[in-house]
Amino acid sequence: MRRLWLSLLPIAQCAIAAGLAWFVALDLLDHAAPFFAPIAAVASLGLSLARRWRRSLELVVGVSIGILVGDIVISQIGSGPWQISVVVAVAMGTAVFLDKGPLLPLQASSSAVLVATLLPPGDVAGFERAIDALVGGLIGLLVGALVPINPVRRARRAAAGILDTFRDLSCELAAALQARDEDAVAKVLDKARGTQSAIDTLQADVLAGREVGTLSPLYWGSRDRLRTIAATADPIDNAVRNFRVVTRRALALTQRGVPVEQSMINIINDLGDIFEILRQVMLAAPGAEPDQADAARLIRSVVRKARTSLADNVEDLSEAALLVELRSLLVDLLMVAGLKRLSAIAQLHLNR
Q: Is residue 5 part of a domain?
A: no
Of 38-47, 251-260, 297-306, the range with the lowest mean pLDDT is 38-47
Band (326; pLDDT cuts 50, 70, 90): very high
The total number of structural domains that make up the chain: 2
- In this model, does residue 98 exceed pLDDT 80? yes
Q: Is 201 found in the same domain as 59?
A: no
pLDDT in tens, 37-77: 888 888 777 656 556 667 777 777 787 788 778 877 877 78
- Residue 249 neighbours by CB under 8 Å, 6+ apart: 318, 321, 322, 325
> 314 with 202, same domain?
yes
Residues 142, 199: one domain?
A: no
Do residues 181 and 290 both lie within one domain? yes
Q: What is the 3-state secondary structure (H, E, C) of the chain?
A: CHHHHHHHHHHHHHHHHHHHHHHHHHHHCCCCCCCHHHHHHHHHHCCCCCCHHHHHHHHHHHHHHHHHHHHHHHHHHCCCHHHHHHHHHHHHHHHHHHCCCCHHHHHHHHHHHHHHHCCCCCCHHHHHHHHHHHHHHHHHHHHHHHCCCCHHHHHHHHHHHHHHHHHHHHHHHHHHHHHCCHHHHHHHHHHHHCCHHHHHHHHHHHHHHHHHHHHCHHHHHHHHHHHHHHHHHHHHHHHHHHHHHHHHHHHHHHHCCCCCCHHHHHHHHHHHHHHHHHHHHHHCCCCCCCCHHHHHHHHHHHHHHCCHHHHHHCCCHHHHHHHHHHHHHHHHHHHHCCCCHHHHHHHHHCCC
Q: What is the pLDDT of residues 193-252, one digit of tens each?
A: 999 888 888 887 777 767 766 666 666 666 677 777 778 888 999 999 999 999 999 999
Whether 3 is in a domain gets the answer no
Predicted pLDDT of residue 140: 82
Contact 137, 40 (CB under 8 A): yes
pLDDT for 89 equals 92
pLDDT at residue 49, as a whole number: 58
Same domain, 93 and 184: no
Based on the domain organization, do 125 and 248 belong to the same domain?
no
> In the chain, what percentage of residues exceed pLDDT 70?
86
Mean pLDDT of 16-28: 92
- The range of the structural domain enclosing residue 224 comes to 151-349
Whether 148 has a pLDDT exceeding 70, the answer reads no
